[in-house]
Structure 1
């Protein structure tokens, strides 16, 4: 019976190794395919031509015109999306108004308590300095 168990373990390891190999080949094959298709439409750029002072200004103008044309073509879609976003935001605001107001109220209370505690601690720590400053101010106002 132990022979069968050993044989089964060996077969399992072989099958697993085959499966891993097949998976790796598939991954490498699809990776090569993606690389080829991704960069197929790109042309090589001669930077010495593109970036020299004569062509540079012209190229910038061309790029700006293309971008403007693209934005003009999509202007209506962009405006619709902006309106849709505003509407969505307003609806969300209205739906969650009560929750937000309650949260804000609790938050302010918490902050107020923390601030009170902080001031108490600060006053305890710096009591002598604060009293000294107050005394000096009183003396100044009394002298004048």
Structure 2
């Protein structure tokens, strides 16, 4: 076989594959949509949201939500306890590393803060000195 025939054959096979893949995708997509929405009913909002039914519907929804939460209460409490326990274990396990990191972090921040104060004082030296003079005068006047 020459190169042209091979290219043509490859192209045909590829187009068949794409077509087959597309059909499979569309088929599975239709299945998903049907399965997903099979339990849903069409909602008539004019009935649901009118003045008579609105309050009842809200109460019904609230009751359902409350019942759902009460059903899952034990599971939720269990998960919270489990999370706290995992967190405790993690902090015990990594205590030394955290302390070392915190120490280094404080040192970095300390240096940055010192530098910031130096710069601030250089920029605002006159204003700061003026404020200090005023405070001293007030103190002297009071005495």
- Give 1:84's match in structure 2, choosing from 82, 85, 92: 82
Partner of 2:116: 118
Partner of 2:41: 43
Partner of 2:67: 69
State the TM-score, normalizing by the size of structure 2.
Answer: 0.90
Alpha-carbon distance in structure 2 between the residues aligned to 1:103 and 1:117 = 21
- CA offset digits 1:23-45 (Å, max 9, x no partner): 12211111111111111110011
4+ residue stretches of structure 1 with deviation over 3 A? none
Alpha-carbon distance in structure 1 between the residues aligned to 2:14 and 2:133 = 86
Give me the CA root mean square deviation. 1.5
Alpha-carbon distance in structure 1 between the residues aligned to 2:132 and 2:98 = 42
Partner of 1:95: 93
- Give 2:9's match in structure 1, choosing from 2, 8, 11: 11
Alpha-carbon distance in structure 2 between the residues aligned to 1:5 and 1:22 = 26
Partner of 1:56: 54
